[in-house]
């Protein structure tokens, strides 16, 4: 569960003011030092950082398994994560600042995952998708209390498998990827639902995990739609109640007829 704290604020309603306690989300800058090299600073929520770190390096393509991490430690006082990886990082990295709350960083968009020639057809059922989003919303209680927290979940025909919260919507994907690696959960062809806008770096991360369907409470960007088309991913927006909008590969989603 994402961390939160309380602050005294002045609330004004119809011209009348009062001082109240307000829960607010914690913003935690975490510097990454890898093999003695300063890499980046993640802006994140300060809980379960092991999932976030492992997922981040997995989705950047720097590790494939936990065995690729020789050591990992976090100094919470100084906001520093120190890792030793089995392999050296490329000498030159081309970072891309990602969109959204507390902008994230991505280094490797998986262009090799855009080849559809080897991929088996995927099939999903609308009732399972609605059920997965309903499960995510029932787990996400903090947004209604203070806002500012994004959530995401992964599931399939067995229901919800993983759930994550963070102030950055892209960080929730990293957290899911890391927890899956720790728990040995296979994500190929699973569904991913998120509370936030879907942009290209989020599609790229999902494609690296083998996710076949992404659904959001809100909208995707135009480039995210294009990338889903290329990667064979069904992209759903405005999944609310019993309605949705499908932006790519609608043939992979089957509907229960009344």
Instruction: Residue 200: give its domain's CATH number.
Output: 3.40.140.10
| DSSP symbols for 178-194 | HHHHHHT---TT-EEEE
Name the CA dihedral angle for 97, 55, 196, 99, rounded to a multiple of 10 degrees.
0
Whether residues 142 and 241 fall in one domain: yes
Q: Give yes or no for residue 49 having a pLDDT over 90.
A: yes
Whether residues 152 and 247 fall in one domain: yes
Specify the pLDDT at position 97. Answer: 40
Q: pLDDT tens, 134-156?
A: 999 988 765 555 556 889 999 99
b/e 105-127 (16+ beta carbons within 10 angstroms → b): bbbbbbeebeeeeeeeebebebe
Whole domain around residue 212: which residue ranges? 124-254
Q: How far apart are CA 162 and CA 102, in angstroms?
A: 23
Specify the pLDDT at position 114. Answer: 66
Domain boundary among 109, 141, 163: 109
Specify if 170 maps to a domain.
Answer: yes
Domain boundary among 62, 86, 109: 109
Whether residues 105 and 189 fall in one domain: no
**Which of 5-9, 33-37, 233-237, 250-254 has the weakest average pLDDT?**
5-9
Specify the pLDDT at position 16. Answer: 78
Output the six-digit token pair for 7.
Answer: 């602050």
Specify if 117 maps to a domain.
Answer: no
Specify the pLDDT at position 101. Answer: 46
Specify the pLDDT at position 61. Answer: 86
Q: pLDDT tens, 62-80?
A: 899 999 999 999 998 889 9
CB contact at 8 A, 108 and 95: no
Residue 61, helix vs strand vs coil: coil
Whether residues 46 and 100 fall in one domain: yes
Whether residues 96 and 154 fall in one domain: no
Domain boundary among 109, 143, 163: 109
| DSSP symbols for 104-137 | -EE----GGGG--TTPPP--EEHHHHHHHHHHHH
Whether residues 130 and 239 fall in one domain: yes
Q: Give yes or no for residue 100 having a pLDDT over 90.
A: no
Specify the pLDDT at position 103. Answer: 47
Specify the pLDDT at position 120. Answer: 77
Q: Give yes or no for residue 107 having a pLDDT over 50.
A: no
Whether residues 191 and 247 fall in one domain: yes
Find how far residue 31's CA is from the centre of its chain: 19
Overall average pLDDT of the 29-41 stretch: 89
Specify if 46 maps to a domain.
Answer: yes
Whether residues 138 and 224 fall in one domain: yes
Count of domains observed in the chain: 2
Overall average pLDDT of the 193-209 stretch: 90
Q: Give yes or no for residue 187 having a pLDDT over 60.
A: yes
Specify if 116 maps to a domain.
Answer: no
Backbone angles phi, psi at 29, to 5 degrees: -80, 130
CA dihedral sign, ordered 200, 221, 223, 250 = positive
Whether residues 151 and 249 fall in one domain: yes
Whether residues 129 and 216 fall in one domain: yes
Specify if 22 maps to a domain.
Answer: no
Q: How far apart are CA 38 and CA 31, in angstroms?
A: 8
CB contact at 8 A, 154 and 180: yes
Whether residues 74 and 187 fall in one domain: no
Find how far residue 19's CA is from the centre of its chain: 35
Residue carrying structure tokens 């919507």: 169
Specify if 8 maps to a domain.
Answer: no
Specify the pLDDT at position 85. Answer: 95
Residues with Cβ < 8 Å from 3, sequence gap 6 or more?
A: 25, 26, 28, 45, 46, 47
Overall average pLDDT of the 103-111 stretch: 50
Specify if 4 maps to a domain.
Answer: no
Name the residue among 211, 191, 106, 194 with its Cα closest to residue 150. Answer: 194
Whether residues 247 and 132 fall in one domain: yes
Cβ neighbours of 234 (radius 10 Å): 23
Specify the pLDDT at position 23. Answer: 72
Specify the pLDDT at position 172. Answer: 94
Q: What is the percent of the chain with per-residue pLDDT over 70, rounded to a whole number?
A: 80
Specify if 2 maps to a domain.
Answer: no
Q: Give yes or no for residue 159 having a pLDDT over 70.
A: yes
Q: Give yes or no for residue 39 having a pLDDT over 50.
A: yes
The CATH number for 42's domain is 3.10.20.10
């Amino acid at each position: 569960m994402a961390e939160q704290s309380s602050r005294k604020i002045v609330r004004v309603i119809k011209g009348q003011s009062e001082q109240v306690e307000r829960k607010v989300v914690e913003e935690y800058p975490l510097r990454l030092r890898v093999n003695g090299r300063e890499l980046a600073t993640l802006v994140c929520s300060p809980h379960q950082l092991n999932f976030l770190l492992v997922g981040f390096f997995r989705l950047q393509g720097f590790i494939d398994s936990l065995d690729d991490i020789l050591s990992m430690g976090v100094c919470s006082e100084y906001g520093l994560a120190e890792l030793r990886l089995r392999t050296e990082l490329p000498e030159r990295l081309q970072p891309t600042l990602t969109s959204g709350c507390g902008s994230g960083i991505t280094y490797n968009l998986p262009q090799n995952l855009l080849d559809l020639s080897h991929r088996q057809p995927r099939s999903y059922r609308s009732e399972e998708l609605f059920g997965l989003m309903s499960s995510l919303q029932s787990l996400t209680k903090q947004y209604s209390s203070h806002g500012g927290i994004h959530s995401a979940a992964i599931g399939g025909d067995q229901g919800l498998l993983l759930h994550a919260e963070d102030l950055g919507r892209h960080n929730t994907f990293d957290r899911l990827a890391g927890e899956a690696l720790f728990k040995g959960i296979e994500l190929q062809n699973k569904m991913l639902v998120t509370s936030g806008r879907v942009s290209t770096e989020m599609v790229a991360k999902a494609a690296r995990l083998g996710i076949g369907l992404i659904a959001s409470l809100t909208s995707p960007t135009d480039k995210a739609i294009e990338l889903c088309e290329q990667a064979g991913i069904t992209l759903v927006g405005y999944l609310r109640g019993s309605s949705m909008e499908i932006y790519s590969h609608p043939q992979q989603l089957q509907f229960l007829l009344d």
